Amino acid sequence: AQKVTQAQTEISVVEKEDVTLDCVYETRDTTYYLFWYKQPPSGELVFLIRRNSFDEQNEISGRYSWNFQKSTSSFNFTITASQVVDSAVYFCALSSPVGSTLGRLYFGRGTQLTVWP
Amino acid sequence: DAGVIQSPRHEVTEMGQEVTLRCKPISGHDYLFWYRQTMMRGLELLIYFNNNVPIDDSGMPEDRFSAKMPNASFSTLKIQPSEPRDSAVYFCASSLSAGGLGTQYFGPGTRLTVT
């Protein structure tokens, strides 16, 4: 079964602090995809990144970076020098390109990040 | 390019009434997904379509829920009769392909309140 766990329900930091959001996943598939989405207070779900299971290289995009480690089944998300605008709920998700679960995005419960000025 | 469009953005209705939510996917996307988000259950996939055909409706909670996709640019999610426990935010998403091969892009959501 596919499962995504985001153990951190809420995180609060002060502006300019670095913060890491944890994501642990479970799957029996050898090929799968991992995603991060952001849900700001306005409510929409914004796509941030997609990684496939064969690409374990870390990725950096501006202040955002992602650390994918197959050995620990983790896909963690770090925001460097956080800003108030980063305040949002962040969701990690898992998808499989094959089998009976094709098409489904399995979401974690999300981590509410609050960045204080 | 226009993203996924949903209407209405907010809907307040009384228990027992019929509710219809609408979605226009991104042009060229052939997968369309309906999700529901609640505090209790988080984000749940209700149903998804490929080329206008329903592929997996196992997430539809009960017979009161139905979804259609009459053409590539329009889908509806209907609840009849509505109940207070249906109150949630309903998201529509679309993608070029499924299973992670295509990224799902979400609409702004419809916040449904059933009193």
CA distance A18 to A57: 21
Nearest Cα of chain A lies from the Cα of B66 at a distance, in angstroms, of 18
pLDDT at A59: 86
- In chain B, which residues have pLDDT < 70? 1, 98-101
pLDDT at B66: 97
Q: Are B76 and B21 in contact (CB under 8 A)?
A: yes
The token pair that represents A19 in the structure block: 């913060």
Count of CB atoms situated within 10 Å of the CB of B55:
15
Closest to A47 (Cβ–Cβ): which among B31, B103, B108? B103
- The nearest alpha carbon in chain B to A94 belongs to B100
- In chain A, which residues have pLDDT < 70? 98-103
- Burial label for A74, CB within 10 Å (0-12, 13-18, 19+), is middle
Longest dimension (CA), chain A: 46
Tell me the β-bridge partners of A19. Answer: A79
Q: Which of B91, B67, B86 is nearest to B16 (CA)?
A: B86
Nearest Cα of chain A lies from the Cα of B100 at a distance, in angstroms, of 5
Residues of A in contact with B91 (CB under 8 A): 45
3-class secondary-structure state, position A48: strand
As a whole number of Å, the end-to-end CA separation of chain A is 41
- The nearest alpha carbon in chain B to A96 belongs to B99
Distance of CA A50 to the CA centre of its chain: 9
